[in-house]
Amino acid sequence: MFNLLKTAVLMAAITALFMALGQMIGGRQGMMLALAVAVAMNFFSYWFSDKMVLKMYNARQVDAASAPQFYAMVQDLAQRAQLPMPKVYLIEEDAPNAFATGRNPDHAAVAATTGLLRALSEREVRGVMAHELAHVKHRDILISTVSATMAGAISMLANFAMLFGGRDGNGRSNPIASIAVMILAPLAASLIQMAISRAREFEADRGGAEISGEPQALAAALEKIGRIARGVPLEAAERHPETAQMMIMNPLSAGGLRGLFSTHPSTEERVAKLMAMARGG
């Protein structure tokens, strides 16, 4: 119930941003048009955003024949978590990372980069995939996927406002307002994502450690991913930064506002909590 409430709050906040942008672009008519677009986008995001995200990353679905070890690992972890078997995807990227998507546990997918499978030990990969299945079990995946899709749409609409100019209260063109909207609207969307995402990551770490039974392995995986990710960009995430909060580790360059508005807690804090869990703390 709480996750449904968070989803409703997220959709309401995103809709309000759409309406504000629409009013800046086209006054009252623009606001009503933006409301209609937001309603349509919310509906579309609920049913199709998982497919959009997987397509953004050129993810390819695998099965027991095409990726037997990886598929069997996810299958075992899903059974341990008492979850339906999700669809399993691989992403051809050197940067190690993973995410889960879908609207509920019965329509879930987990994806990992080939770089993750190469860089981590089997125990560490198990820890990562258990973390993603914890997101599925906690029903975080709809929130994550909807917020990623809608944040991207807000960024596009903000750029549209910059191109065609904002309006003041009397309907006159206001270039200062359009510049402010272009900057502040994506930041507002990022703040919404950040407010939801950080607590989710801690809970998924805890849940993943319980599913895999090895909090130390997940802690080691996070440390290794963090070290490698600093020098190996995840190209798909750089092209679609609104999806970064879906990943187990922030894949974006840490410079400027991206670092300030990171949707992930620090790796050190996450590792410390997992090691305390391993010690029974």
Catalytic: 132? yes
% of the chain at pLDDT higher than 90: 45
Fill in the DSSP letter of residue 86: P
Task: Point out the catalytic residue in the list 93, 124, 132, 214.
Answer: 132
3-state DSSP assignment of residue 167: strand
Burial annotation 108-117 (CB, 10 A radius, 16+ → b, else e): bbbbbbbbbb
Residue 250 or residue 2, greater confidence: 250
User: Phi and psi (nearest 5°) for 62?
Assistant: -125, 165
Give tens-digit pLDDT for 8-49: 676 677 677 767 777 766 667 767 776 777 677 667 777 877
Predicted confidence at residue 118, as pLDDT, reads 97
Predicted confidence at residue 195, as pLDDT, reads 64
Q: What is the pTM of this model?
A: 0.79
Rounded Cα–Cα distance for residues 141 and 150 (Å): 14
- pLDDT exceeds cutoff 70 at 246: yes
Predicted confidence at residue 189, as pLDDT, reads 66
